[in-house]
């Protein structure tokens, strides 16, 4: 087992050394995708990815990952993010295989290597589930923030501003756009509008980037009524606001129920600990 472990490290190190120059430009351009300590081993993972042609053999799975990355990072960065995700996954799986080999040698038990291989096979599903949860949380946060944006837009439009002016003013006045996925996307919308971008095209791209049904409803409402303005626009925004606030209340209720269910197990454990602490002295006195 020790010999196998040394061979595994030697193969990875040799591949990284040989193919470093081939992948150096891509790694330099996308160094923010990886942890700093992984730098030496990344060329080996990239070579393995190209050699095995993972994107061709696992096209269905890679397609799901790509769609998730579109939702998380946008269509422009999705290709790079997907490639970085696959490279990280290859490194994690190989590291788990090497660690299992080392533990198997240290414990003198070959079954540990088998367990490590099983964990390695389960790792892609765990990693994808984490990314899916991230996307779900992002969409939930966007849904929670959208009603406030619509309300502020209603106030500015009601004060006499056009939809485009109201959107620019409402987003430009906010300073924490980086911490909010919806405001970050709207800040990009404002930037494109200030560069004389076409309002319908900018809003359609915004809707595609968000990938949320409620955002699509919001953009459709604006595109259908922004030229006419007046009472029709205000009525449409008011109806949309009521719908979005109802969905926000339902989402808040769901999140509260999820938080309550997560507290059940810790509360049961605390109950048993307290019960033991209270009952133990009485039992000892009886004995």
Model confidence pLDDT, tens digit, residues 115-150: 888 999 999 999 999 999 999 999 999 999 999 999
pLDDT at 223 over 80: yes
Return d(Cα 215, Cα 207) in angstroms, integer.
6
Q: Could you tell me which residues come within 8 angstroms of residue 207 by beta carbon, excluding any fewer than 6 positions away?
A: 215, 216, 219, 220
User: What digits encode the pLDDT tens for the residues 179-189?
Assistant: 788 888 888 88
Nearest of 72, 97, 96 to residue 85 by alpha carbon? 72
pLDDT at 221 over 80: yes
Average pLDDT (97-125) is: 88
Nearest to 116 by CA among 85, 95, 147: 95
pTM for the model stands at 0.79
Stretch 24-43: mean pLDDT, rounded? Answer: 84
């Amino acid at each position: 087992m020790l010999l196998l472990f040394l061979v595994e490290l030697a193969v990875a190190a040799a591949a990284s050394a040989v193919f470093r120059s081939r992948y150096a430009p891509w790694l330099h351009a996308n160094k923010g995708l990886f942890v700093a300590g992984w730098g030496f081993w990344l060329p080996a993972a990239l070579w393995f990815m190209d050699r095995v042609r993972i994107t061709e053999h696992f096209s269905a799975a890679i397609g799901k990952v790509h769609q998730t990355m579109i939702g998380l990072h946008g269509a422009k960065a999705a290709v790079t993010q997907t490639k970085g995700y696959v490279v990280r996954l290859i490194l994690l799986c190989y590291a788990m295989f090497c660690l299992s080999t080392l533990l198997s040698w240290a414990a003198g038990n070959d079954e540990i290597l088998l367990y490590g291989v099983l964990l390695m096979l389960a790792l892609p599903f765990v990693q994808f589930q984490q990314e899916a949860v991230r996307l779900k949380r992002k969409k939930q946060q966007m849904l929670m923030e959208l009603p406030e944006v619509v309300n502020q837009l209603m106030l500015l439009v009601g004060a006499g501003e056009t939809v485009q002016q109201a959107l620019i003013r409402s987003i430009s006045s906010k300073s924490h756009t980086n911490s909010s996925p919806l405001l970050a996307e709207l800040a990009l919308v404002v930037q494109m509008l200030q560069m004389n971008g076409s309002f319908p095209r900018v809003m359609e791209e915004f809707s595609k980037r968000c990938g949320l049904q409620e955002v699509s409803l919001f953009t459709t409402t604006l595109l259908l009524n922004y030229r006419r303005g007046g009472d029709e626009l205000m009525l449409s925004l008011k109806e949309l606001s009521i719908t979005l606030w109802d969905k926000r209340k339902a989402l808040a209720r769901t999140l509260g129920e999820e938080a309550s269910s997560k507290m059940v197990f810790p509360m049961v454990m605390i109950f048993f600990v307290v019960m033991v602490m209270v009952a133990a002295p009485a039992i000892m006195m009886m004995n």
